[in-house]
Structure 1
Amino acid sequence: MRHRQRIYRILSISVSVCLLIMCFLNQYSGVRHYSVYAEGNGDTRKEYEDEKTTAKAYEHTAELLSDEIKKINRKIAETTLAIENLTGEINVMDTEIEEAENLYYEYEDRVIIEKEKLNQVVSLMYETGAGSDEIAVILQSDDILKVLDRGEYLRDINDYYNDKISEYDDIVAEALEQESMLNNLRLEREEEIVTLEKKKEEMSAEIKELGSLMKEAQEKAEDAKELSNALAKKVAEMEAAERAALAARKYDGSGSNVDYSGNGTNYYYEDPYPYTPDELLLMAGIIEAEAGSVSYPGMVAVGSVVMNRVNSPDFGNTIAGVVYAPYQFEPAETGRLAMILAEGPADSCMGVAKEVLDGKRNVPNLYFKADWYAEEHGISGVNIGGNVFH
């Protein structure tokens, strides 16, 4: 019982550490998916990306260790079950051995009793005759009837003796069989005990390995948390620089036909962009990656930001140059955009991409953030389809 309670305590601790690691990772995940489009200098962006890469590496290590901890927990659970099964089998064998011992001792007692009976029969045979020769016994009698009766009696005694000898032999054989069975059960029990001890040693090693992994995983999770805090601070600094740059350029929509208090359904038009099929596909892909394929105003707004950058001297003058610029659109860096392009963007995104390339717009901005991120960091703007454009 104490051994089982110790196992349960260890499993409980390991589960707690796994939950702690997942909490660290979940907290960190709120930072690692930022799409940061800051005006900061190259050094600031490089520092941000370096910290982001390091934090991801620590997170990945912690996740792997968490997986290993789960595997070892499963192994410990399996070993614990095996130990319980072996213990149960040994208990059953102990009962069988006890029953076999009782039966063996019973046969031993019967052998003694039957042996005593045989001795009594032999004594009786000698006591009923004057000699060892049956003929001499008969000759001593004067009455022929008495002779016949005496001969019949001696034959009965002899038959009884033979029956008792046979019974005795059977009981001895059964006793020997029970003794052999008892010895086999004892041998099997010893083998089961050896197996049980090996399982206990395996579990001890697994628990030791679990403790080591739990310690390492906790350290990595704490490192990831520390780096995520530093990353959040860096993001906040870049956001402040971005807001300052936007304020200096007065990107408030005052010179456009867009109502910033609306929901992005006030559209205006720019000159069409002479696009290629590949550029249409890329535009549709980045729209789906950043805005999804449901909110029409949200899709148009993301496409508008891309084209606003194409037309801005501060960014690349092609769609590919804007989308694949370093440290800009995160889906382009993480591979999500590539997956969408490989599978083919949604039809709705293809349709919106064509309209945007033909000149349709609904925001004049160069930047946007996820609404939850904008709310947490005090970034104001217009929320269209789950993104805040500012």
Structure 2
Amino acid sequence: MKRKLCTFLAVILLSLSVCGSAQASQSEVDRLKEESQNASKAVDDIKNKQKETEDAKNQLESQANDLSGQISNLNNQISVVSGEISETEENIAAVEADIETLNKEIDKIQASLDTQRKAMKLRIKYMYESKSTNTLVNFLESGSMSEFLQRLEYMSQITSYDQRQIARFEKTQAELNAKKEEVEEKNRQLNAYQDSLNSKRSQLGGLVGSATSALNTTNSQIADTQAALAVLEQQLSEAKEYEKRILKQYQDAQIALAQKLAGEHGAYKGGYSTNDEETLILAALIQAEAANQGDAGRLAVGSVVMNRVASSKFPNTIPGVVYASGQFAPVTSGRVALILAEGPNSACQYAAAQAIAGNINTDALFFCTYTYAQALHDSQVAAGQEGFLDRTAGTTINAHYFYNYK
């Protein structure tokens, strides 16, 4: 079984990189590969740092919002407590006025009671020391029993009146004293409540101060993260530009090396006049067939299409070749149409442009997966036929086998 497999292109495909000029040497391609990987890693590192910084910024902004809400809530509480303090101060002033009024009333009643007691003492002394109030004298001087009894009744009424007056004054004084004690207790409670409110307001003020300090620190940290993001954005822009520049240098070097190693091959020599639409059609097919096959694998698919364009056996336009009935499975499945709708990626567009420019890396008109080619070969040999690989001359590039019939 003969196998003509150009493994040197597979070696080239292992060197995916960017940087340097398009020099046709394996060492240069290897150097550009490493430099390209480093450039891509730098871009990824900056993106990761950007995400971490953005997450930190979002967390700080959320923290700042929470602190602002806390400060607003605390200030509202302080406002309520201050209002309660003002109301309590008014109530204390009113209660103190009531206490003063009660004290005056108690003093007045006490003075009246003292006067009444003094008057009663004088009357009692007069009644018991004066002859006119002596019971025996009154009895002897009374003209009759009726007059005697009238005198006794008069003395009794005076005594009862004094006793009632004293009792009334004493009751009123007791009531006032009780009222005064009640008002004084209310005053004590109000003062205690005011002290509690003042303490609460002081505590709230301390919390506001702490929250405000934390908010200032958080806002400062937010400003720092914003500045860091601006620096990272600039760094990312520069890193992407460098990555793009190195990628092109690597791709050019890879194609140059492939041409140097492979020599002159392929029916297509360049010169096809195309437009953007045709380039995108070719790029979409390349993406559908070889998006993960590396630069050389993508270029090889584009080379097959351009070889067919140049061949008399196939249509002489890119759309004609791509959309020819039964030729490319992704066209039939609709995969190519979906990629066209979204837009082919830049790597596949680059491969399409290189193939159209004549920078092809295979003269093959056909390709399939190498697994399929080997399985087809084995089944034909097992059936006693000449094997597929024996009837073709081809090159393996990554997972694909590019070939022509002998």
User: Normalized against structure 1, the TM-score is what?
Assistant: 0.54
* Maintained 8 Å contact 1:90/1:189: yes
The residue aligned with 2:160 is 152
Select 2:58's aligned residue among 52, 67, 70: 67
| Alignment deviations for residues 342-367 of structure 1 (CA, whole Å, 9 cap, x no partner) | xxxxxxxxxxxx9449999969xxx9
1:315-354 alignment runs, 5 A limit: none
Q: Matched residues in 2 for 1:201 and 1:241: separation?
A: 60
**1:369 to 1:309, Cα distance in 2 relative to 1, 3 A:** farther
**1:188 to 1:45, Cα distance in 2 relative to 1, 3 A:** same
Residue identity matched to 1:52: V
* Maintained 8 Å contact 2:286/2:352: no
1:364-383 alignment runs, 5 A limit: 371=343
The residue aligned with 1:305 is 290
| Alignment deviations for residues 260-283 of structure 1 (CA, whole Å, 9 cap, x no partner) | 7369889xxxxxxxxxxxxxxxxx
Q: Matched residues in 1 for 2:75 and 2:204: separation?
A: 9
Q: Matched residues in 2 for 1:370 and 1:101: separation?
A: 79
**1:151 to 1:373, Cα distance in 2 relative to 1, 3 A:** farther
Residue identity matched to 1:113: E
Select 2:277's aligned residue among 238, 246, 261: 261
**1:54 to 1:310, Cα distance in 2 relative to 1, 3 A:** closer
* Maintained 8 Å contact 2:70/2:211: yes
* Maintained 8 Å contact 1:93/1:185: no
Deviation for aligned residue 1:61: 3.2
Within the alignment, does 1:54 sit opposite 2:70 as a pair?
no
Select 1:81's aligned residue among 69, 72, 84: 72
The residue aligned with 1:123 is 115
Residue identity matched to 2:95: Y
**1:156 to 1:307, Cα distance in 2 relative to 1, 3 A:** closer
| Alignment deviations for residues 202-255 of structure 1 (CA, whole Å, 9 cap, x no partner) | 2133134214412431332122112122023224424654886899899x9989
The residue aligned with 2:188 is 180
**1:314 to 1:261, Cα distance in 2 relative to 1, 3 A:** closer
**1:313 to 1:182, Cα distance in 2 relative to 1, 3 A:** closer
How well do the aligned residues superpose, as a CA RMSD in angstroms?
Answer: 4.9
| Alignment deviations for residues 89-140 of structure 1 (CA, whole Å, 9 cap, x no partner) | 3213313322331232133122222222221132133235525669739985
SS at the partner of 2:277?
coil
1:188-207 alignment runs, 5 A limit: 188-207=196-215
* Maintained 8 Å contact 2:57/2:226: no
Q: Matched residues in 2 for 1:380 and 1:130: separation?
A: 135
Q: Matched residues in 1 for 2:157 and 2:122: separation?
A: 16
Deviation for aligned residue 1:65: 2.4
Higher RCO structure (Cα 8 Å, ≥6 apart): 2
**1:62 to 1:265, Cα distance in 2 relative to 1, 3 A:** closer
**1:128 to 1:357, Cα distance in 2 relative to 1, 3 A:** same
Select 1:106's aligned residue among 97, 106, 110: 97
* Maintained 8 Å contact 1:58/1:220: no
**1:227 to 1:159, Cα distance in 2 relative to 1, 3 A:** same
- List alignment gaps of at least 5 residues for structure 2: 1-15, 20-31, 139-150, 260-265, 301-327, 354-406
**1:122 to 1:148, Cα distance in 2 relative to 1, 3 A:** same
- Who wins on radius of gyration, i.e. which is larger? 2
Select 1:225's aligned residue among 233, 237, 243: 233
**1:134 to 1:229, Cα distance in 2 relative to 1, 3 A:** farther
* Maintained 8 Å contact 1:83/1:200: yes
Select 2:82's aligned residue among 72, 91, 99: 91
Q: Percent identity?
A: 7
* Maintained 8 Å contact 1:304/1:361: no
* Maintained 8 Å contact 1:62/1:217: yes
- List alignment gaps of at least 5 residues for structure 1: 1-36, 267-296, 316-353, 383-390
**1:39 to 1:148, Cα distance in 2 relative to 1, 3 A:** closer
Q: Matched residues in 2 for 1:304 and 1:137: separation?
A: 143
Q: Matched residues in 2 for 1:310 and 1:243: separation?
A: 7
* Maintained 8 Å contact 1:61/1:220: no
* Maintained 8 Å contact 2:116/2:166: no
* Maintained 8 Å contact 1:129/1:137: no
User: Normalized against structure 2, the TM-score is what?
Assistant: 0.52
Residue identity matched to 2:199: E
Tell me the matched-pair count. Answer: 269
Q: Matched residues in 2 for 1:95 and 1:307: separation?
A: 78
* Maintained 8 Å contact 2:71/2:211: yes
* Maintained 8 Å contact 2:251/2:295: no
* Maintained 8 Å contact 2:50/2:232: yes
